[in-house]
Amino acid sequence: MPNSPTTSVSDRSFRTFLAGRTVSELGSRVTREGLPIIAVLLLHATAQDLSWLAGLSYVVALVAAPLSGVLVDRRRRRPVLIAADLLRAAALTLLTLLAFAGLLQFWQLLLAFCVVAALNTLFDVADQAWLPGLVGRQQLEPANAALSVASAIGETGGPALMGILIQFLGGPLTILSDAVSYLASAATLLQLHSPEPEPDRIRQQVRLAIRDGFLALWRHPLLRPLAVASALLSLCGGIFDALYAFYALRDLHLSAFAIGMLITGGGVGALLGGLAAPYAARRLGLGRATIYGLLGFGVLTLLVPLAPAAPLLGFLFLLVAQLLGDLAQTLFGFGEAVLRQSVTPGAWLGRVSGSQRLLGNVLGAIGAFGGGLLAGPLAVRGALFLAALFALFGIFWLLRSPLPALASAPTVEAGSFSA
């Protein structure tokens, strides 16, 4: 694939892209956190209904990830990003119209939630594949650091914005505001005029293209351990998704407000991690910074099951774990993204990213559905302790790889990706 002109991270066009990405991140968090609440307020959804909402989102992501990877490698990436934004906006606008007409039913909200989850996966895979061509591989570190900050802003501000919108605008207008955020993201992408080369056409069947994406990911000496470590991190996250709120409420006797403050603290930590990641990569070397990020996250996560039952002390333990743990996790995520984008040829970025997301979603779903089962024989504290150990186990895969010796991102090794 021929090289195309790139955009500097200091250019106005990249700042426009970053602004749109930040708005999209806010919209995604409002949708993810807000639709279940709106389902309860407007449609009187039950706990069983909400479990379907959460479970199907995982299933949709499992299916969408590898298919998205193949589609992204067969098309120019910017039109795919724009289409994903417009389709997400259309789905949420339709929900708003049904709500105002008094016709909204739970199955319609469930269907829209699944559609948006699939399009979120498509957008994320296309975005990861498009970035190296937009900014050039030499600027992947500052570009990914900026995107980490945008994601942290969404994580910090999205839930708070969702609460304000539902409180003052009501459910239907909150859904409509989500749609507007996706339109704003599409508008910023339309303003970018960085040319994209014609993609290499994949003439394989979809099944074979997905298989080759997995094989390329698995046989690469750097991508394989990073993928395994990321998947184990997702397994840890799935268990925490299932048990964290229950543990904080029932075992530590924290209030819902305190849990909201903890989530905000995690967003602040992720924001600080995005700002610190390029400095840590320069100071420690990209490989070591990535390893230390995962190690720090695993160790700090152990504070959660070790928290005392006294509410104040328990809150402080969890706050340190959220603030510093999310900072460390962002360091790992930054290094993983830079390395994957650096060593993967442009024609393979979609399939490789989709394969990695599928692996992470599989283990994340196992953790989410298995967390409750583990809590029986191990108790909730024991299950959370085991989850932290799963994250730490990824360190051994990284230490046995070329990662510890990497001072900076290596170049593309095209031979590792031959079909």
Q: 351 with 70: CB under 8 angstroms?
A: yes
Can you give the pLDDT at residue 47? Answer: 53
pLDDT for residue 60: 85
Write the pLDDT tens digit of every residue in 245-295: 778 888 888 886 787 788 788 888 988 998 899 899 999 999 999 999 999
78 in Cβ contact with 162 (< 8 Å): no
- On whether the CB atoms of residues 85 and 24 are closer than 8 A, the answer is yes
What secondary structure does DSSP assign to 94-158, as a single string?
HHHHHHHTT---HHHHHHHHHHHHHHHHHHHHHHHHHHHHHH-GGGHHHHHHHHHHHHHHHHHHH
Specify burial of residue 376 (Cβ count, 10 A radius: 0-12, 13-18, 19+).
exposed
d(CA 73, CA 354): 10
Of 223, 218, 272, 266, nearest to 241 (Cα)? 266
Domain architecture of the chain: domains with CATH: 12-193 (1.20.1250.20), 211-417 (1.20.1250.20)
Residue 285: per-residue pLDDT: 93
Q: What pLDDT is recorded for position 1? A: 42
Residue 285: CB atoms within 10 Å: 19
Cut 0.95: pTM above it: no
Distances from the Cα of 235 to the Cαs of 269, 359, 362, 369, 396, in angstroms? Answer: 21, 10, 8, 10, 16
Tokens of 191: 């303003």
Report the pLDDT value the prediction gives residue 2, as an integer from 0 to 100.
42
| DSSP H or E stretch at residue 255 | none
Rounded to 5°, the CA angle 223-360-149 comes to 80
The Cα–Cα gap between 283 and 289 comes to: 8
According to the model, what pLDDT value does residue 83 have?
A: 94
What is the chain's pLDDT, residue by residue, as a tens digit (419 residues)? 444 455 556 677 778 888 888 887 887 777 776 777 777 777 887 755 765 776 677 778 888 888 888 888 888 888 999 999 999 999 999 988 998 888 888 888 888 888 988 998 899 888 888 888 777 777 888 888 888 888 888 777 776 676 677 777 777 888 888 888 889 889 888 887 766 666 665 555 677 778 888 888 888 889 999 999 999 999 998 888 778 877 888 888 888 678 778 878 888 898 899 889 989 999 999 999 999 999 999 999 999 999 998 889 999 999 999 999 999 999 999 999 889 888 888 778 888 888 888 888 888 888 877 877 787 777 889 989 999 999 999 999 999 999 998 888 777 654 456 54
